Structure formats: C-alpha cells, structure tokens
A = this chain, B = another copy of it.
Amino acid sequence: MSLINMLFGKKPKSAQVARDRLQIIIAQQRSDRSSENTTPDYLPTLQKELLEVLSKYVEIKLEDINISHEKQDGVDMLALNITLPENKKTEKTENPA
C-alpha cells in the first residue's frame, strides 16, 4: 500500500464528504535513540509556524484542526488533519464526485 493511499484512510462521515481536507505530517526519525531526550523537541513550535504559513493559502479554523502526536520506534510523528471550509472553493457545484 502506498503512502498516498494511506492518507485520509478513514472514510469521511457523510457530513464531511463535501469538504476538502488537508493533512500535514511531520515526522522525525532519530538514528540514535539515546538522543531522543537530548535533542530539543521543536516539532510543536514548528507546527505553529507551519499553520501560520498555511493560513496564508487556505482559510483554517482552529476547531477544524485535529492534531495527533505519536512516538514509536524512534520516530516522532506530528499529524495535522484539517478540514477546509467550503467557502474557499469556487461556486461551481457541478457533479460532485
């Protein structure tokens, strides 16, 4: 299974079907497990800055962001799931797929 198939893996609920979604994943793999506690954890700060950059391009509401942070096997993963507002789209509503 390719990564692109893995993204947005969960079927959206019917209410969300018509919404565009954006997913941002930041993952760091540390070669040296012992450095996990010594290297600064900049992911949370990075996340804020990424959202600032993103908000220049798409309208993001805080309540539409779902954030998860996982650590496993030396990989530190931050995942942001964002439901985009409908009003960013063009008024064209021809044949919604």
Contact = CB atoms under 8 A, between A and B. Distances in A.
Number of copies: 2
A49 B97 contact: yes
Contact of A24 (B20, B22, B25, B93): B25
A89 B25 contact: no
A3 B5 CA distance: 10
B21 A97 contact: no
Given A45-B57, A53-B49, A27 B40 contact: no
B54 A4 contact: no
Interface of A: 1, 3-9, 17-35, 38-40, 42, 45-46, 49-50, 52-54, 56-58, 70, 72-75, 77, 79, 88-90, 92-97
